[in-house]
Amino acid sequence: MTKFFLLFLFTFPVIADHHVPDNIEAGTNAAATIRVHHKKNKVLYHFDYEQTDKINNRVDKRYTLGVRYRFMKNFKAGLYYSLRYGQRHDEDWISGPNPPHWIWIDTSKRSENFVGLELIPRFLVHFLPGTWVGETRVKIERNFFNDNNTVKLKPGLTYFWMGDSGPFMNLFAQAELYIPLNYGEETIYEKWFYLGALYHYSKIFKPGIFFSVYEKVWTQTEAFKTLKNDTYKNTEKGNLVGITLNFRIP
Amino acid sequence: MRTAVFIFFLFVLFNNFSSASEGKLIYAKGVVQVLDKKKNKKMFQRIKKGATFNAGDIIRTKKGALAILELAGGSKLKLNSASAVTIKKAKKNDEEVRLNRGSVFINVFKSKLNKKTKPRFRLKTKTVSMGVRGTSFFASFGEKAKKKKQRRDLWMCVNTGLVEVTSNKSKQKVSVKAGEGIKVEKGNKISEPKPLEWTKKLNWNMEESKGDLVNKASIESAYTDVLDEDYD
């Protein structure tokens, strides 16, 4: 009886505290993207709206405005501003006063401002049959909400299915790796893999679909480490099935 | 004596008239026009099937039109919509045409001359010269020029035979084999010959009895710069 009591006494705080977040298997969720482009000479102006359906009670919404310039045949660079809602960071795992247990903050209505630089080298892949374009996009992004700086590497391969008057459809495969520069414990904080297709309905409208698989890693903050004298590494995994609607303003 | 001289004069005159005709329009759809240089005409005149033309004449098609020309040397040209050529020479074993704008299919009269012989058909543009040996090929010039002094691109592909392309500026020479095509961007470097996907859809037919003559494959597909496509 005493032994049982002592066992209960030692385990109860851990059970009651539960200060380490659970791994999340988010399953498959829906996403949608609307893009509007306008090109003038070598400059592309773009507006994007992206929304991901509720994953673990979070709706991720992004409004991005940007510009890209084609410096050379194989190289573009751009700047963008992005307003986002529903982002989650390591520091959003907090100890709530009421109820008194650890929770993820609901950030659905919290706005965050991002600014980014993107570098886009592209090249034709001659050794593959047909028309293939390879790309290794690099983004350097700053989040002004928490001063997080991130490098995003996005290599991709696109096949252009050519019709009588230009591309008819393109099929693409991409990976995206998030490398935190001044936060987190992991070298790669987040990973995405995309497969998709875009149908060139007209010069103005191109609808598409995509499927993606992602994995995010959550680790403790310094504050958590000081408070709990503990560390953790948890993952959120999930899939997205999405549609994309691309519009071009002539 | 006077009679002999007169007959001789008539003979020479007749020969001049008959040999002056460098070719004939053997098919016309839509508006096909000629600028007759010999008669010092300053305006294009509409011509119909059966009309003849001479060295120096400019033949053009309006939008939606199609013309097939047969040169005195035996070669045939299918002039596509909104295109223009100048007939420089069209004699047997010595044919030269200048492509002013648009696109043209060319079916060179098969020569029995061997490979070492100088090409008997030449197609020229402002930027390149193409020497042809018994072949059929397609050339398109000047689609994208918007500014007056801007040099225009040339696309060329070969159906049968061999075409030697020479850049007027750099004197670079490239041989293009059957099934291959090249691009000369703004009169500069000639690209490496390679199969161009859209050329498989070109309509090479030049005989009305064999079916549709109109080429529907758009050169636009060749102009799509896939490296400039942004979709995310």
Residue B112 has a pLDDT of: 54
Residues of B in Cβ contact (< 8 Å) with A129: none
pLDDT tens track for B56-86: 999 999 999 999 999 988 889 999 999 999 9
Record: contact A133-B226, CB cut-off 8 A: yes
**Distance (Å) of CA B205 to CA B33, B178, B208:** 22, 16, 8
Which has more confidence, A111 or B131?
A: A111
Which has more confidence, B20 or B138?
A: B138
Q: Topology of domain A30-249, per CATH? A: Porin (2.40.160)
Record: contact A124-B218, CB cut-off 8 A: no
Give the residue extent of every domain in chain A. 30-249
Whether residue B108 lies inside any domain: the answer is yes
Q: Which domain holds residue B95?
A: 19-208
Nearest-Cα distance to chain A for B163, in Å, is 24
Whether residue B11 lies inside any domain: the answer is no
Whether residue A89 lies within 8 A of chain B, CB to CB, comes out as: no
Which has more confidence, A161 or A3?
A: A161
Residues of B in Cβ contact (< 8 Å) with A37: 230
CATH number for the domain spanning B23: value is: 2.60.120.1440
CB pairs below 8 Å between A and B: how many? Answer: 54
Whether residue B212 lies within 8 A of chain A, CB to CB, comes out as: no
Whether residue A5 has pLDDT greater than 70: no
Whether residue B226 lies inside any domain: the answer is no
Highest mean pLDDT among A161-170, B42-51, B166-175, B190-199: B42-51
Residues of B in Cβ contact (< 8 Å) with A73: 227
Residue B18 has a pLDDT of: 47
Q: How many angstroms separate the CA atoms of B129 and B94, rounded?
A: 15
Residues of B in Cβ contact (< 8 Å) with A198: 231
Q: What is the count of structural domains for chain B?
A: 1
Whether residue B155 lies inside any domain: the answer is yes
> B167: which residues sit within 8 A by CB, 6+ positions away?
B127, B128, B173, B184, B187, B188, B189, B190
Whether residue B1 lies inside any domain: the answer is no
Among A139-143, A245-249, B14-18, the least confident range: B14-18
pLDDT tens track for A41-55: 899 999 999 999 877
> A107: which residues sit within 8 A by CB, 6+ positions away?
A58, A85, A86, A87, A88, A92
Nearest-Cα distance to chain B for A74, in Å, is 7
**Distance (Å) of CA A39 to CA A36, A63, A200, A204:** 10, 19, 17, 12
**Half-sphere exposure in the Cβ direction for B171 (13 Å, CA):** 0
Closest CA to A78 of A34, A33, A112, A46: A46
